[in-house]
Amino acid sequence: MNVAAGASLQVTAVLVGGAATVEGVAQRSGKPASAAMVVLVPDDPEANLELFRRDQSDLDGSFALAQVVAGSYTILAIENGWDLDWAKPAVLESYRQHGQKIAVPDGHKGSIHLSAPVEVQPKL
C-alpha cells in the first residue's frame, strides 16, 4: 500500500470472534455425501459477509464449521459448488429456500451437533 505524503488514510477493521463449532452430515438420497460444499449463511447475508463459514464434507459426509458467532443461519450443502460466487448473497438465495435453519445461542462454546442431515442440493 502506498500513501502519498500529506494524504489522509482511513482504515476499517472488522473483528469477528466465534466459539461454537457446527457439526453435521451432508447426505444425498439418504446416504452420506462426500465432497459437497457446506455453507453457513447468516440470516442477513449482505450485512454479515464476515459470518459466512464453509467446509467440504468428508468421505463419511461429516463436516465441521468452526468459529461460528451467535446468531441465526441457514446451512446448505451444494454438490460441486466450489466455483459458485458464494460471497454474493443473490447467488445462494435459491439454495437457501431448501436449506436447514439453525440458531447458535449467545455465549455457546463447543460443538453444536445438527439433529438432521443436510440434504445436498444439485448445483444450479
d(CA 12, CA 14): 7
**Residue-level pLDDT at 7:** 85
CB 76 within 8 A of CB 32: no
- What confidence tens digit (pLDDT) does each residue in 77-111 have? 999 998 999 878 889 999 999 999 999 998 888 99
The answer to whether residue 122 scores a pLDDT higher than 90 is: yes
- At residue 60, what is the residue type? D
Between 10 and 85, residue with greater pLDDT: 85
d(CA 10, CA 18): 27
d(CA 80, CA 103): 26
d(CA 98, CA 20): 24
Average pLDDT over residues 7-23: 77
- Domains along the chain with CATH numbers: 20-115 (2.60.40.1120)
Using pLDDT thresholds of 50, 70 and 90, give the confidence band for residue 51: very high
First to last CA, the chain: 39
Using pLDDT thresholds of 50, 70 and 90, give the confidence band for residue 18: low
Average pLDDT over residues 18-36: 94
Average pLDDT over residues 3-26: 80
The answer to whether residue 16 scores a pLDDT higher than 60 is: no
Give the H/E segment covering residue 95: helix 89-96
The answer to whether residue 53 scores a pLDDT higher than 60 is: yes
Mean pLDDT of the chain: 91
